[in-house]
Structure 1
Amino acid sequence: MGYKVAVVGATGNVGREMLNVLAEREFPADEVYAIASRRSVGTEVSFGDRELKCHDLEQFDFSKVDFCLMSAGSAVSKEWSPKIGAKGCIVIDNSSYWRYDQDVPLIVPEVNAAAVAGYTKKNIVANPNCSTAQLVVVLKPLHDAAKIKRVVVSTYQSVSGAGKEAMDELWRQTKGIYVPGQGVEPSKFPKQIAFNCIPQIDVFMEDGYTKEEWKMMVETKKILDPAIKLTATCVRVPVFVGHSEAVTIEFEKAISPEEARAILRESPGIMVVDKREPGGYVTPVEAAGEYATYVSRIREDATVENGLSLWVVSDNLLKGAALNTVQIAETLINRKLMPNAA
């Protein structure tokens, strides 16, 4: 049987990627609808070899679809996800609004697929923060093997995580460095992003962490294990697509780099590229457009007992957003958790 799928926010970076992933993975959909705000009604977006015209969010009848893949921001999700869920449509939301609701499962299928069964409380499933998603995919198999006590992570996050305006700003500023009159004044970011690094993503909180860093701490606990201690420093870098993370992990039990490498090579969603030679690692350029989460630079951290350090790279628009969303829908189908499942 085929399903009916609506993609809300279809004209945005992640919405377009959701449509691409649905087509590339041959998701069992009889109908796919592109949904956007009223000003984008009639705009055409690509779905495989077809073009879909956008429907108005406020006028669309969600009772006729099985899945709503939501990528329109927290304010829209806050208002519309409960309304859509009440129509019997399962909402898989990419915003941060529902992630910390106890009645909404926060899912990365390679990590906690069984928890998706809890969606029935509100008919909503939350997608985690992009930087969290790629991190927990890597932590899960290592946690199963040696039990993680503490994680220290520094992220190097691409501008696409902040939307199309952020990508445009990097492009404009980069040109402006060399072309007189182009201008390099920041508008989307608090400082110049071209040829620079900004150690702030989202707003600052009272304890000095930013909200992006707080998200990683709280979401890792909810998805993987509340006993794990995690501290994060999140940095925006002048890269268009692909988030990178330098991760140091302290375990309860001893685990060697060789053991970790072997475990990760056998784990779903992960590709290990770890040659101890120039270029023997993955960077965001290679990860862009790829489904896998890449792990490189696996080595001992001799400053703590039972410590490892590693480098993690993933396409934030895919595993960090669109791919994970579609995988959640696939998980609901494969686990026969749909209301009309046989």
Structure 2
Amino acid sequence: MGYRVVVAGATGNVGREMLNILAEREFPIDEIAVLASARSQGDMIEFGETGKTLKVQNIEHFDFAGWDMALFAIGSTATKIYAPKAAAAGCTVIDNSSLYRMEPDIPLIVPEVNPEAIDGYKARNIIANPNCSTAQMVVALKPLHDAATIKRVVVSTYQSVSGAGKQGMDELFEQSRNIFVGDPAEPKKFTKQIAFNVIPHIDSFLDDGFTKEEWKMVVETKKIMDPKVKVVATCVRVPVFVGHSEAINIEFENELSAADAQKILREAPGVMLVDKREDGGYVTPIECVGEFATYVSRVRDDPTVDNGLVLWCVSDNLRKGAALNAVQIAELLGRRHLKKA
């Protein structure tokens, strides 16, 4: 026996990826509904590679009563309207927006890191999915934290344009094409030209000079993993279509060698260690596209601090950073609480 599942925002990048992953992982589904805004009503969308096509329904008129869970990828504004309606109707919401992440009575879940936190979902019947950059980082950090207790993390991200949605991907493509043919490459979605460039600015600026994206990485890591860990981030948009990368410096309370860290990461859930100290012996964003794992490479000792390590972390941001994590939360919810299948 399976579940009655809703995917809201099914026509967007993350929503489509949710459908792909539900199909790939053979999530037990008795019935599925796909929702979007009024302008997409009646469109047909493929359900992964199952051969099935689904008709898009208007979220404004959808009745969530009788549905088990809803995976939301509709942005904070729409989520604020429809998530409480779904939750009140008895449909558990797994939300990909930032709206509820820091609410104290809403669990923020990465299943490999804090699965037990899902037990608090009944307070609001809503579960939050973390920021894409946070999700992959904590998957890599948690087994190391368990082994030697992390004191401080300094992370620089190299985030793909798909993190800014279809508009971001279109802008990179159009600017690249325009530059090759000698046409202007004016920015529209981003604050500066993204083609053949990097932009040290994601989301809005805060009063302290950090951006909201950087703030998210700090507070979400503390909520998911450990409030005592100190985190500082610099988030950079790079001209890559899919796949976020991170250079992470870690300071531990206890000694942990690079060799021991490699052994731990080799066995860690959700992590794939690819760390050959030779040309090409590491993973880049283009190689992680379509993959489930969070890849870790270039693990080495940091000689500038006591008990320090440095590593490189890469993941498909549309998957582990969004859709895959949401589906994993749905699987966890089923195992621990709904138990239909």
TM-score by length of 1: 0.98
In structure 1, the partner of 2:76 is 74
Which residue identity lines up with residue 118 of structure 1 in the other structure? Answer: G
Structure 1 stretches of 4+ with a deviation exceeding 6 A read: none
Unaligned runs of 5+ in 1: none
| Equivalent in the alignment of 1:107 | 109
Picking from 136, 143, 146, the partner of 2:145 is 143
Question: Could you tell me which amino acid in structure 1 is paired with residue 41 of structure 2?
Answer: V
Matched letter for residue 30 of structure 1? D
Aligned to 2:132: 130
Gaps in structure 2 of 5+ consecutive residues? none
Structure 2 match to 1:20: 20
Deviation at 1:169, TM superposition (A): 0.2
1:341 positional shift: 5.7
Task: Measure the CA separation in 1 of the matches of 2:115 and 2:51.
Answer: 31
Cα distance in 2 between the residues matched to 1:131 and 1:63: 33
Q: Which residue number corresponds to residue 261 of structure 1? A: 262
Amino acid at match of 1:285: I
Contact residue 202 and residue 213 of structure 2 kept, 8 A: yes
2:74 is matched by which residue type in structure 1?
A
> Which residue of 1 is the match for residue 201 of structure 2?
200
Shift of 1:117: 0.8
Correspondence list, 1:284-295, <5 A: 284-295=285-296
Matched-pair contact (CA < 8 Å) for 2:115–2:332: yes
- For 1:117 and 1:76, the matched residues in 2 are separated by 26
Match of 2:154 in 1: 152
Q: What is the CA distance between 1:64 and its match in structure 2?
A: 2.5
> When the two structures are aligned, how many residues end up with a matched partner?
339
Which residue does the alignment assign to 1:58? 60
Residue 316 of structure 1 aligns with which residue?
317
Q: Could you say which residue in structure 2 is the equivalent of 1:331?
A: 332
In the alignment, what sits opposite 1:169?
Answer: 171
CA distance in 2, matches of 1:179, 1:116: 52
Post-superposition offset of 1:168: 0.2
- C-alpha distance in 2 between matches for 1:114 and 1:262: 25
RMSD of aligned C-alpha atoms? Answer: 0.9
The answer on 1:307 being equivalent to 2:290 is no
Distance 1:341 1:3, change over 3 A: closer
Aligned amino acid, residue 230 of structure 2: K
Deviation, 1:49, is: 1.5
Q: Map 1:213-232 to 2 at 5 A.
A: 213-232=214-233
Q: Tell me how far apart the structure 1 counterparts of residues 255 and 96 of structure 2 sit (CA, whole Å).
A: 36
Match of 1:62, SS state, is coil
User: Secondary structure, in 3 states, of the residue corresponding to 2:71?
Assistant: strand
1-structure distance, mates of 2:121, 2:79: 16
Deviations 1:168-215 (A, max 9, x none): 00000000111134x310000000000000000000000000000000
List aligned pairs for 1:76-95, cutoff 5 A.
76-95=78-97
